[in-house]
C-alpha cells in the first residue's frame, strides 16, 4: 500500500488548516454561525465552505485568485446564510486565503499558525462590531456625475451632515432594516 495514495500532501493539510482557521475568525461568518443564519447546521456549512475553497485550489488550473475567492465567499454567504456582505471583509479573507496558498506551497506555515492562534483567542466569543461615523473630511472614492455638477448652481444648498459620536459599545440587539434583514456593519475604508 502506497502511503502517498492514502494521505494528502502535508502542504494541502497545512493549507486546509489555515483556511478553516481564517474562516473561523471572519467576524461576519462567526455571527452567521452563532446566530444560525444558515439554519441549525450553520457550523457544518462553514466546514463545507472551507472544503470547497481547498478543493478549488487543489483542482483548478490556474489556481483561483483573490477575486474568485471573494465572489465565492459572497455567493455562499448569500445562498447558504441569506446574508449580503457589503463591508469589504470578504475581500480581506480572500486575499488572506491566497496568501495561505502561496505560503503553504513553499512549505511555510507562519500564516496558518497566526490564524490558528487568533482562532483560539476568539473561540466562544462574540465578535465586537463597531459602527463607523463618516465625518466631513473622509475621502470618498466616488466621483460626482456630470448631472450633479450641472445641478450645483440651482440655488439650493445641500443639507449638512450633523456629526455625532457613537458609543464604542454596540447594542446587543441586531439592527433590522425595512425588509426584515439584519444589518451587518464593518469598518469603513479610506
Domain span at residue 57 reads: 8-122
Q: Is residue 24 part of a domain?
A: yes
Q: Is residue 90 part of a domain?
A: yes
Residue 189, pLDDT above cutoff 90:
no
- Per-residue model confidence (pLDDT) at position 184: 74
Q: Is residue 189 part of a domain?
A: no
- Least confident range from 28-37, 111-120, 154-163, 173-182: namely 154-163
Q: Is residue 112 part of a domain?
A: yes
The domain total for the chain is 1
End-to-end CA distance of the chain: 56
Q: Is residue 59 part of a domain?
A: yes
Q: Is residue 18 part of a domain?
A: yes
Which residues in 33-57 are b (16+ Cβ under 10 Å) and which e?
beeebbeeebeebbeebbeebbebb
Q: How do residues 134-171 score in pLDDT, each as one tens digit?
A: 223 333 333 344 444 444 455 555 555 444 434 334 44
Quickly state the pLDDT bin for 5 (edges 50, 70, 90).
low
Average pLDDT over residues 17-29: 93
Residue 34, pLDDT above cutoff 60:
yes
Q: Is residue 178 part of a domain?
A: no
Select from 11, 55, 49, 56 the least CA-distant residue to 30: 49
Residue 190, pLDDT above cutoff 90:
no
Residue pointed to by grid coordinates 471583509: 89
- Per-residue model confidence (pLDDT) at position 131: 33
Q: Is residue 166 part of a domain?
A: no
Amino acid at each position: 500500500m502506497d502511503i502517498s495514495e492514502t494521505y494528502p500532501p502535508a502542504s494541502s493539510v497545512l493549507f486546509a488548516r489555515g483556511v478553516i482557521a481564517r474562516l473561523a475568525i471572519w467576524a461576519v461568518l462567526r455571527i452567521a454561525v452563532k446566530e444560525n443564519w444558515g439554519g441549525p447546521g450553520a457550523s457544518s456549512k462553514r466546514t463545507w465552505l472551507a472544503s470547497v475553497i481547498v478543493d478549488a485550489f487543489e483542482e483548478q488550473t490556474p489556481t483561483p485568485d483573490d477575486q474568485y475567492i471573494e465572489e465565492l465567499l459572497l455567493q455562499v454567504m448569500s445562498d447558504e446564510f441569506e446574508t449580503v456582505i457589503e463591508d469589504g471583509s470578504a475581500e480581506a479573507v480572500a486575499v488572506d486565503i491566497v496568501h495561505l496558498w502561496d505560503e503553504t506551497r513553499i512549505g511555510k506555515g507562519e500564516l496558518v499558525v497566526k490564524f490558528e492562534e487568533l482562532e483560539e483567542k476568539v473561540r466562544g466569543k462574540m465578535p465586537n462590531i463597531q459602527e463607523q461615523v463618516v465625518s466631513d473630511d473622509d475621502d470618498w472614492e466616488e466621483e460626482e456625475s456630470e448631472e450633479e455638477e450641472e445641478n450645483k448652481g440651482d440655488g439650493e444648498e445641500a443639507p449638512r451632515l450633523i456629526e455625532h459620536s457613537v458609543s464604542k459599545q454596540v447594542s446587543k440587539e441586531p439592527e433590522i432594516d425595512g425588509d426584515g434583514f439584519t444589518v451587518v456593519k464593518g469598518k469603513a475604508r479610506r
